[in-house]
């Protein structure tokens, strides 16, 4: 017989392949402890061939999880195999957050919300602009473009080494989004109020090209979704040229908020202690 005092303890996961590099367990572990919630959140590695079976076990309850996060390379499969993907994930064709409701797997994508929440926190008023420039047209750039468009930014210029990939995103995200080759970068940056790097250029100490930000609007914000290193070569250049910069770590922290709320029933707050925990972890892996 069930003890009337028994409380349900929710268990959540992050899955990827590999997944051991994920910092999500640190983030959710911090919030669980801070809020005194007796749940768990752990990394659970699943190979691409085993992922459909994992989704079946999630749905039936056999996996023992109420939901979780999905990272590379499972984001597209998570969307496809979910029962109730929301509008955001459907437009992206990729999901990063899953939860089980009424025996069905629900899916969303919180990367874009994380991106704008980071700007809202660190560059208040950033959205009083009419033009944004997005460098890169890979998987990571999609959620960013969607979120910036949904905030009402009128013109979003996507600049990419392979112009066809940028065009694909312009076709997907509608009239506000325009595709350009790399050669057009300076031209589209003129007067723009936001510059977003979504490429891996300058990641992990790799060299990055020199970019002249000087033709952007005086109060423009430059941000990078890469957060290792925290101050990427691109952000350093922008700062030296007198522009406000926002690093990518906050996007990682803020994208985690909606999932935690779904699984554990409380909306957590991104605070500086959490940010410092992740920075310390990054430093320890240098």
Q: How far is the CB of 89 from ligand ATR (least distance, A)?
A: 16
Question: Does residue 3 have a known ligand-binding role?
Answer: no
CA distance 188 to 157: 7
Distances (CA, A) of 237 to 55, 93, 143, 233: 44, 34, 25, 6
Give 57 or 165: the residue with its C-beta nearer to ligand ATR: 165
CA distance 176 to 63: 42
Give 168 or 261: the residue with its C-beta nearer to ligand ATR: 168
Any catalytic annotation for residue 75?
yes
Q: CB nearest ligand ATR: which residue?
A: 138
Question: Does residue 137 have a known ligand-binding role?
Answer: yes
Dihedral sign (CA 63, 67, 68, 71): positive
Give 15 or 198: the residue with its C-beta nearer to ligand ATR: 198
Beta bridge partners of 181: 160
Provide the binding-site residues for ligand ATR, judged by CB under 6 A.
136-141, 160-162, 165, 198-201
Q: How far is the CB of 265 from ligand ATR (least distance, A)?
A: 32
Give 171 or 271: the residue with its C-beta nearer to ligand ATR: 171
Question: Does residue 139 have a known ligand-binding role?
Answer: yes
SS (H, E, C) 140-197: HHHHHHHHHHHCCCCEEEEEECCHHHHHHHHHHHCCCEEEEEHHHHHHHHCCCCEEEE
Catalytic residue among 20, 33, 75, 231: 75
Question: Does residue 109 have a known ligand-binding role?
Answer: no
The residues carrying an active-site annotation are 75
């Amino acid at each position: 017989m069930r003890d009337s005092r028994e409380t349900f303890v929710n268990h959540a996961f992050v899955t990827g392949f590999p997944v051991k590099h994920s910092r999500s367990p640190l983030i959710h572990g911090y919030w669980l402890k801070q809020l005194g919630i007796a749940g768990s959140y752990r990394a659970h590695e699943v190979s691409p061939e085993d992922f459909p079976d994992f989704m079946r076990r999630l749905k039936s309850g056999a996996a023992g999880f109420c939901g979780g996060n999905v990272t590379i390379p499972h984001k597209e499969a998570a969307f496809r195999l979910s029962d109730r993907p929301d509008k955001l994930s459907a437009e992206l064709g990729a999901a990063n957050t899953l939860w089980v409701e009424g025996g069905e797997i629900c899916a969303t994508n919180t990367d874009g919300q994380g991106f704008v929440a980071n700007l809202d926190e660190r560059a208040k008023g950033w959205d009083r602009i009419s033009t944004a420039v997005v460098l890169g047209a890979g998987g990571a750039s999609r959620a960013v473009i969607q979120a910036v468009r949904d905030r009402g930014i009128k013109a979003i210029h996507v600049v990419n080494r392979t112009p066809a990939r940028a065009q694909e995103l312009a076709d997907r995200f509608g009239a506000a989004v325009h595709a350009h080759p790399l050669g057009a970068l300076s031209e589209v940056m003129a007067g723009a109020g936001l510059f977003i790097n979504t490429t891996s250029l300058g990641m992990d100490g790799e060299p990055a090209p020199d970019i002249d930000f000087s033709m952007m609007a005086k109060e423009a914000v430059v941000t990078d979704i890469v957060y290792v290193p925290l101050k990427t070569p691109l952000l350093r250049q922008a700062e030296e040229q007198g522009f406000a910069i926002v690093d990518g770590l906050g996007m990682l922290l803020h994208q985690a908020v909606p999932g935690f709320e779904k699984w554990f029933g409380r909306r957590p707050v991104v605070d500086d202690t959490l940010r410092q925990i992740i920075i310390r972890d990054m430093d320890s892996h240098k």
